[in-house]
Each structure stands twice: as structure tokens, then as C-alpha cells.
Amino acid sequence: MDLDDAFKNKLAELLTSDQIIFNAPMCEQTTFKIGGAADVLIFPSSIAEVAAVIKLANAFKVHYTILGNGSNVLVLDKGIRGAVIKFSDKFFGKIRVDGEKIIADAGATLKSVSNFAAENSLSGLEFAVGIPGSIGGAIYMNAGAYGGEMKNIVAKVTAISPAGEIVSFNADELNLGYRQSIFQQNGCVICEVELNLTHGNFDEIKSQMADFTYRRESKQPLEFPSAGSTFKRPQGYFAGTLIDKTGLKGLKVGGAMVSEKHAGFVVNAGNATAADVLNLIEEVRRRVMEVHGVTLTPEVRIIGE
């Protein structure tokens, strides 16, 4: 889509030039290293800028897509029309502590926030150290691992509504469930996250984090680009075990492959296109249904065209 010149000019008045990239390849913004270009990629650096950009997009009827660290998305090969508003650690990643609370900007990575918690001897976020996402994306997905999930520690979220207004949500208003949150329905954009942690022992927190990191590195195919677990956990099963039992480890379509190390991961084994990944996902779903009668649903969010 050709963006309106007036929209581009207004954007340039709101932000600095390093916060705006036109025709930005999304393969550079996703952990899958896949995806065509977005018409414009925007890096806001404050909640006021997020509100202003959303109001501007509304005024010019420019569609916008929200991106965190890009670790749970598959961007399609023709890219994303309109604007991508990216919450990055660099521009939107401040973290502060207040007693047993941590308040983080949505772009702060889970790695930075969990390390910050550890440095302040605060416990509760150890599970998240190896999840390669932003704290905003982690709330949106209710990310979890090793028995922990965001649901257990989030106290409050400040967001921008689709109309561009500041709104806040208490924990009980977030509808957090397995890979579920209210933000998947209400279109609000998460800007700040407040976490309730508890004072703990620095050495114990660090050693728990090291143990989780070791377990992750030994089980997951981190040597290949991916978006983590491709499918949600079907009730009563593990997606990876079902796929493995169906004999699909190593199955390839183009550059996309079911990991040999962990069957729950589709990896980019070399120059995979989004079409390769989608075709492989369909083939895996078809064969698992045929052999086990179980429906697999992608956890990865598919965006773009």
C-alpha cells in the first residue's frame, strides 16, 4: 500500500527519524527470520507516542499491527500493509523497582526483566528467563514455562485503547488463561506492566534461573530460527509427543522442518518461506489427525498477507 504523504509527514513530526523505517523487512524483526516487508515500522518510546501514533493511524485509516520481540509470530511472505508498531527493548524497555513490585515498559525483554528481578533479590519471574519475548508480548500470550506463568505475578497493565486513550487493567480483569488474555479480544495495546514479586535469596534465584536455562538449552533446537512451540498443548496430550509418535521428526517442506531435537518446534532450517511453514503446519495437522484423531491448533500468530 502506498502510504499517504500527509500521514508520513505527520509521523515525522511525532517521532525522530531513527524511530521510523519504511518498507522494513519483517524477517529482521522475527525470531523465525521469515516475513516480507511492512509498509512502515514504528518504534515508539513513550506511552504518549503510542497514543499519538494510534490516533494518527485512525485519522488516516492506516491499519496497524502490534509487534513485541517477534518471537511468537509468522509474518507472511508479502509482508504487512500499513504500520507495524514495535515495542523494542531499545526504545521502550525501561524497568524500575518499587518494594516488591517491578514496573516494566512493554518492550523490555523477559530476559532483562527477570535478570533485573534477580539483581533486586525478587523471586517469581525465574521461569521466564529463557522465553525470548517482550514483557508486553508475554502478557498478551500469558507466556509460561516450568510451572510458572505471567498470570501468577501480574498486578496491573496500562494500555492504549483502539481509540488512543490510556486504560488500565487490574489482574482480575485480564482473563489470563492458557496462552489467553483479554488483549486478544479488546485490541488494547499493552504499554506498561506491573508485577508483584516476593523477596527471595539472590543465590537461589540465580541457581533456579541457571537450571531452567540448562533444561531449555538441552531440549530446544535453539540453533535454528523458530517461533518456539508451533502448536498449543491439546487437552490431555503434548503436541511434541504426538508429532514424534506420528514419525514426523525431520519432515521438511522447502526450508521448513519439524525439529529433530524437539518435534513441537517447526524450525527455519534455511531460507524457509512463510508458505513453507504454513504447508508444513497443515501436513503435520493432517497426519496427527489421521493417526491420533487429535486436532492441533497453532500457537504461533499468523500475520500479514
Ligand X SMILES: Cc1cc2nc3c(=O)[nH]c(=O)nc-3n(C[C@H](O)[C@H](O)[C@H](O)COP(=O)(O)OP(=O)(O)OC[C@H]3O[C@@H](n4cnc5c(N)ncnc54)[C@H](O)[C@@H]3O)c2cc1C
Helix or strand run (H / E) with residue 78: none
Helix or strand run (H / E) with residue 29: none
Is 194 a residue of the active site? no
Residue 131 within binding range of ligand X, rule CB under 6 A: yes
| Per-position x/- string for 37-66, each x denoting binding to ligand X as judged by CB under 6 A, each - no binding | -----------------------------x
The two beta strands, 73-75 and 301-303, are: parallel
Is 181 a residue of the active site? no
Which CB, 238 or 292, lies closer to ligand X? 238
Residue 190 within binding range of ligand X, rule CB under 6 A: yes
Please measure the distance between the N-terminal and C-terminal CA atoms of the chain and give it in whole angstroms: 12
Residue 141 within binding range of ligand X, rule CB under 6 A: yes
Exactly one of 45, 158, 226, 259 binds ligand X (CB under 6 A); that residue is: 226
Q: For the segment 237-266, give every residue that binds ligand X (CB under 6 A).
A: none
Residue 304 within binding range of ligand X, rule CB under 6 A: no
Cα dihedral 87, 265, 273, 184, rounded to 10, equals -40
Q: Which residues contact 247 (CB under 8 A, 6 or more apart)?
A: none
Is 70 in a helix, a strand, or coil? Answer: coil
Q: How far is the CB of 135 from ligand X (least distance, A)?
A: 8
**Closest Cα partner for 53 from 10, 92, 5?**
10
Is 121 a residue of the active site? no
Residue 87 within binding range of ligand X, rule CB under 6 A: yes
Place of cell 484423531: 293
Residue 152 within binding range of ligand X, rule CB under 6 A: no
Which CB, 111 or 285, lies closer to ligand X? 111
Segment contacting ligand X by CB under 6 A, of 71-79, 166-174, 253-261, 280-288: 71-79
Is 60 in a helix, a strand, or coil? Answer: coil
DSSP state of 32: T
Is 205 in a helix, a strand, or coil? Answer: helix
Of 126, 229, 259, 285, the active-site residue reads 229
Q: List, by residue number, the catalytic residues.
A: 179, 229, 299
Residues of the shown chain interacting with ligand X in the complex, contacts defined by CB under 6 A: 31, 66-73, 87, 106, 131-134, 136-138, 140-141, 143-145, 183, 189-190, 220, 222, 226-228, 301
